Structure 1
Amino acid sequence: MMKKVFFVDDEPLIAQGLSSITDWHNYGIEIAGSANDGETALQRIKEEPVDLLITDIMMPRMNGLELIRRVKQIHPRTRFIVLSGYEEFEYVKVGITLGIENYILKPINIDELESTIRHIRGDWEREELNMFRYEEDWRVLRSNILQRWVLGEIEGQEFKHRAELLGIPLNYKYVQALVYRIISQEKPISRLYRLHGLSEECGVIAREAISAEDEVICFPDADEDLVMLYVSNDPEHEQHVLENVPATAKRISELTGLSVWAVSSALSSDFQGVQDSYKQAKQMFQRYLVSGEDKIIYMSPSFIEAEERRPVVWDQEEYIKLLIEGKPEPVVEFIESVLPGAFQSSVIQRSDCLNMAIQLMLSAKDMEDRPDYSEVFAALARINTLHGLIQHVISVVQRSLANRENVQQEYSGHVAILIDQVKEHYAEELSLKTLSQKLDMHPNYLGQLFQQEVGLSFSDYVNQYRIEKATQLLIHTDQKTAEIAASVGYIDTSYFYRQFKKYAGVSPTELRHMYTK
């Protein structure tokens, strides 16, 4: 939060010149204004409080010391720097009594002024820290700084400064990241537990297994995972940490009653390389799914899949027949038998499962008249278990079957013509105005008729149909995104990206990553 400074000097050039004497924004300070006498300054400060007041001593109407005395009565937290054209011991004594930060002689020594500002800035930060220290806000502040650090979103000097204020240890050579994901099928973990309190509990558990010379930094990240950074000056400490991971995960599971998925990274010999260590651990969650019923799942840096990867074979023709028949029970039974049966390990490649799951869902969505692909893809990144994936597939397919039942209807002749035009010419420019001329109807009336029967505006229907076609091309071809955009009627690629995100729920790139050809 920016602080405010106000300047007071009976010499206008000095009052105005103080604003450019240093880079105030560099110290997190913005200029609130200036005045040429104490009376005017007091009125201004009454209206708009300031954090720092820099004032001359000898001024008409009200001198600087009286101004300081009056301001302290209404805003006790304001800080003061006094300026004077000559050294006067009596003024210094009074200023000290009033609690001024410094007494600077004119002409102003810029180095001395900046040194004083840095000192005041440090005091402000310590005051803010003391306000946070025993409150939840302090934990949030600390967690936010640590999240920015592991993501590489904070400069080294800024982090060092913040770390000193927040009690984050930096004087270690080695760092190792461990990330614990608590698996909840029903609600986000933050809805079930106070994440920062849970993180502190985990810190207590983790410290039991390390030496007094080492330290562990615990915090929840943006994905609601519990991150533990073990720091040490001993390269042998990695083995002690890894031996303790299952026990720590077990304690977390006991605290929450939920399954815990623990992932550790390789030891980094560069303390500044914590971003790579954290990234390595987080990538494991993106690459795998939990398929077993184990309460504790642990993946070390040397993790190797238990079974050899092989193509998943399933009877797609039989599945399509079941979808065409449209009876929910046999379709659900097929999904429940084919997905679990294809994967036997307790931890499996996410891409293998997602490919199969997406094929099952798209086979059903493709039979809808107006498929909504956002429900297929948007939830996939948040799924951690094979069980959760199966439930998602069943839910999407059941809704798809229900939609087909509800949408079996006849459109009026004019609306049917519009729909046929979209299906045949979606890659071309389509205008309701142009089509209405061909049908000899007013475009507003035709648009209202289409909205009433289809449930979408004509432009929304065209966009949704184009995105449907683009989705198929992204999944089943290696065409570049720009080529796909043009082939479905979007000349402007950036507009295509916006429309795709709007209708599919994910970007074209994200969809392709989710679905490996």
Structure 2
Amino acid sequence: MNTILLVDDDQYVIDGLLKHVPWEDMGIRIVGTAGDGEQALEQFRESKPDIVITDIYMPKMDGFQLTEAIHEIDPEFPVIILSGFDDYANARKAVTKGIQHFLLKPPSISEIEFVVREVVQQLNESKERDELLSSYVRQQDIVQRSMRELFFRDLLSTRYRREELPWQRIEFMELPQETTVQALTLSLIRTEGRTRTEERDWQLLRFGTGNIIREVLDKRLEAYSDLAAEVIAYSDKDFVILFLGGASMDETVGATIMEASTAIVDNVLQYMKISMLGGLGTPWNGYEHILDSFLESQSAIETAEMNDWNRIYPFTEKAEPEEERLMPLDLIRKLNDAIFQKQLQEAADLWQELKSNRAFVSSSLPGLKGVCAGLISAWRTSAWSSAAQASDDETGLEELLVSLNRNATAKGLIDWMDEQMSRAIAQIKENLQGKKSHALIDRVIGDFIEKCYHQNITLEEIAAKIHVNRNYLSQLFKKITGEPFVTYFNKYRIEKAKELLSTGQYMVYEISEMVGFQNSTYFSQVFKSITGISPSEYKR
């Protein structure tokens, strides 16, 4: 429904317009009335009507002045003039002011209705044109975005000469003819062992990550008119960002790209809790060199796999001697032999040596996967050939190899393999010697929990002292005792605290320190969660 503002210093005229004109039948709602031009202008700004009907001669501001003020805000706004004088000069002046409708007082109802319906029709036609144009612009934007993504995806996989590029399509996509390109690859670190439900969760996280990437880029690049970025969801775990600059990228632009890239990593880690590796290629001139910068970013990712996560690694040329990049085959062969011959201590020592070997950890991810798959097969064969049978819940070889292949980085693979080796050696020891894993947990309980409960000791420290993997020890502890390490440890401490409380010789805060709690408030919380009452209530 369209709206209208009525302006006249004669209240009799206003009342007549309100009472006799069938506004609702014409689809019109009256948003206000005014008795002079100044009041009308104020109401116009507040209520934003679609049409104004105004008298000419009014105090403070006449109808022509009001029209001028309205047209400064909206030059196409429709104003209908009501004049009590049959004056050709006023009619001519109305035309010069952009007023297309001029009525003499007193107008008939049919005259008012005719003029208002004509104005409403023009408004509706204008709105339809605007909506059609807006729809066309939106559709064109969607088509352009889709074409740009296909265009850049193609350039990430196919090398073109400059003369082979689709220049007409580049022009239609409103891309610059001359540009400097720089590729950033962001590889999300995906954890292993996801179920179908978790797969859906991963896709939601991936979608949210893409939104964060675009939001950060919009904010960071807003001040740079000659720098744009195209975000491409390249694979299930990789995003490729193509920075498009002017004819060249100076140090300021380069610094901006690095800051934006780092901000993306920080925001994704903060809001999505996803770690990633970032590789940044060097700037190249021309779309035909997008593939070059992209391959550099991929090479930088390989470097990132050997170092810390959640950082951006710029591409640098490496000139390592060929022999430094060869797999340490003799060491790998010795480790396989030690596993098959069940020389457990030697196997453990050789693995430690292998995972510290520079040539091994700097090898390609596919090469590392091949070596680790061979080691997994070796120890599984050794474990199964033992007289003792593996436990029912032991992971099968096929499932282990699937889990191995899910590792997306060299660092993640080596950490995963370290845990598997600890499991393997413990399993083989148990099968060969007929010992139960209870002995290891009994040692943890006897040597560390019972003797060191008053100290601030962690499972990680215990694992390091008895030379086992921390994750393996945590899972084994829960399997044997039925409780996580922290829960078991806290319960033991609380039992000791109850003994001390029963003596009546110590304050609560003293006992909390005596049983290993550095914070008496936290001690009270743990005490109540286990016993159901506070230390003070137990003391009474």
TM-score range, shorter chain: 0.3 to 0.5
Please identify the structure whose Cα radius of gyration is greater: 2
TM-score by length of 1: 0.40
When you count helix as a share of all residues, which structure comes out higher?
2
TM-score by length of 2: 0.39
